[in-house]
Amino acid sequence: MVHSVMRGVCPGVEIVDLGHEVPPHDVRGGAAMLERAVPYITGGVVLAVVDPGVGGSRRPVAVAAGPLLLVGPDNGLLPSAADALGGIEKAVEASDPSWWLPERAGTFDARDVFGPVAAHLAAGVPLERIGPAIDPSGLVRLPPPVCETGPGGVTCEVVWVDRFGNAALSAGAAEVDRLGPRLTIQAADGRQGPGRPAGARRAATFSDLAPGELGVIIDSSGQAAVVLDRASAAAALGLAPGDRLLIGPA
């Protein structure tokens, strides 16, 4: 439906789906996915909707950052992606209903608000006409994920679990490489994850790991990830976005 609405506004527009794998209501996971994707998009309009506050007081916004215009809810979904593009240059509140569908249901703003706004921008409508300018510093930002080093290792946060079950972490190579080739992984906050330390190996690729061997790699976005080769590390360890892990030397 969203595709059809956008093509109705901007006939012939090319629409490329980045992904529909973000779990419901997971704004942080959506922001992480978007931040990882935008450096490889050469231009155009990016429509991003993970919107548990649909119909509420959160603002619909559109921002200019680098070669892209980003459209979505003002709930923390967009700023980290804009930062990956060099920062927000302009921001507007997409509050002018003349750029929406004539009737807004209140429960499907991807179809009724964000999709039409993105399509109008793709058709060449200037950003300034979409709505009043807003201060980019006033956009909602998510709190940064935890990443703290200490004598026992690095305490970090699961920021994203992809469809293969790889658990991307807030830690990077600098934090995990100092721990050595053999690692332990355990829950850092008593919520989820392995209650007892699970052994893991610092690996370069998935294929470096033996069947069933837990690994920590640096993924395609330069972040550490807990993985299994051709299996779900998240399922094996009971991991979900937001869980905090302590990764230490074995």
Q: What pLDDT digit, counting tens, does each position of 72-114 carry?
A: 999 999 999 999 999 999 999 999 999 999 999 999 999 999 9
pTM of this structure? 0.90
pLDDT tens digit string along 151-160? 999 999 999 8
Given phi > 0 = left and psi -120 to 50 = alpha, else beta, which region is 71? beta
Distance CA 87, CA 162 (A): 26
51 within 8 A of 75, measured Cβ to Cβ: yes
Distance CA 217, CA 82 (A): 26
Residue type, 109: D
Distance CA 104, CA 177 (A): 51
What's the confidence (pLDDT) of residue 179? 96
Spelled out in words, what is the top-level CATH class assigned to the domain 147-249?
Answer: mainly beta
What's the confidence (pLDDT) of residue 44? 97
Distance CA 243, CA 193 (A): 7
What's the confidence (pLDDT) of residue 197? 79
CATH code of the domain occupying 2-138: 3.40.50.10790
What's the confidence (pLDDT) of residue 188? 87
> Which regions in the chain score pLDDT beneath 70?
190-195
Cross-strand pairs, 79: none
pLDDT tens digit string along 159-176? 989 999 999 999 999 999
What's the confidence (pLDDT) of residue 192? 52
Scored b (16 or more CB within 10 A) or e, 84-109 reads: bbeebeebbebeeeebbbeeeeeebb
Q: For the chain, what are the domain ranges? A: 2-138, 147-249
